[in-house]
Chains A and B, each alone.
Chain A
Amino acid sequence: GIQVEQSPPDLILQEGANSTLRCNFSDSVNNLQWFHQNPWGQLINLFYIPSGTKQNGRLSATTVATERYSLLYISSSQTTDSGVYFCAVAPRVSDNDMRFGAGTRLTVKP
């Protein structure tokens, strides 16, 4: 099946720093989403981005489907950005059931 790899596995930042999280996937996809799992366990939608670039405030994402990777940019990080960031993809030959990467655990220190 499709493989989803996220890097780095852990990231520690000072408040105000910028970061880039990467997601590599091994096959063509219909769907790619980025999620933030907060300390209470809730999975929050960040982006639905099977291709192209999107921005939402301090966050932006880019997916290059032909090269099978996606990037999540966090600028001017805040302590509330802490948590685990997941990339999930739905293989092209699927009914949109998603495969998750192992996540990047982000800790933002004040």
Chain B
Amino acid sequence: DSGVTQTPKHLITATGQRVTLRCSPRSGDLSVYWYQQSLDQGLQFLIQYYNGEERAKGNILERFSAQQFPDLHSELNLSSLELGDSALYFCASSVQGEAQFFGPGTRLTVL
């Protein structure tokens, strides 16, 4: 158990819909990262937050957004979903600049 929790574990939805994925980092970690794992693109970095502020952006679509709340949990919002958004979404947390620990992931299926 990495100490990072993600909900829900599975999500099935339809094209055009909006979903929210939630992540709670390990106790004491201020940095939260979101990654997407798809069959064609592999594991890709989406976005990072540090203590509530956006710190770095990767290959995140404009239809996607995220935030980190004062209690340090984070949410990834995916809107206008397309079939190609089906993937495993991981959250990771770390002490800034040190090892990242990954949550169990949320498997999103868009039908």
* Contact with A33, one of B55, B90, B97, B99 (Cβ below 8 angstroms): B99
Interface of A is mostly: strand
Contact with B along A48-70 (1 / 0, CB 8 A): 10000000000000000000000
Q: Please tell me the size bucket of the interface on A.
A: 20 to 34
Q: A35-B102, A95-B55, A100-B42 are in contact. Are A45 and B2 (CB under 8 A)?
A: yes
Contact with B along A15-53 (1 / 0, CB 8 A): 000000000000000110101000001111100100000
Interface contact B104-A42, CB-CB below 8 Å: yes
Does A98 make an interface contact (CB < 8 A)? yes
Cα–Cα distance between A43 and B35 once the two chains are bound (Å): 12
Min Cβ gap B50→A in Å is 7
Interface contact B56-A45, CB-CB below 8 Å: no
Does A13 make an interface contact (CB < 8 A)? no
- Total interface residues on B, using CB and 8 Å? 26
Cα–Cα distance between A95 and B57 once the two chains are bound (Å): 10
Interface contact A95-B50, CB-CB below 8 Å: yes
Interface contact B97-A96, CB-CB below 8 Å: yes
B residues less than 8 Å from A86 (CB atoms)? 43
Residue of B nearest to A42 (CB): B104
Min Cβ gap A45→B in Å is 6
Does B107 make an interface contact (CB < 8 A)? yes
Contact with A along B54-94 (1 / 0, CB 8 A): 01101000000000000000000000000000001010001
Interface contact A95-B48, CB-CB below 8 Å: yes
* Contact with A43, one of B31, B94, B102 (Cβ below 8 angstroms): B102
Known: A45-B99, A96-B100. 13 other contacts (CB 8 A): A31-B99, A33-B99, A41-B105, A41-B107, A45-B102, A86-B43, A95-B48, A95-B50, A95-B55, A96-B33, A96-B48, A96-B96, A100-B35
Q: Provide 10 A-B residue pairs closer than 8 Å at the C-beta atoms, listed in order of the A residue.
A: A30-B97, A33-B99, A35-B102, A43-B90, A48-B98, A94-B56, A96-B96, A96-B98, A97-B33, A100-B42
Which B residues contact A (CB, under 8 angstroms)? 2, 31, 33, 35, 42-45, 48, 50, 55-56, 58, 88, 90, 94, 96-102, 104-105, 107
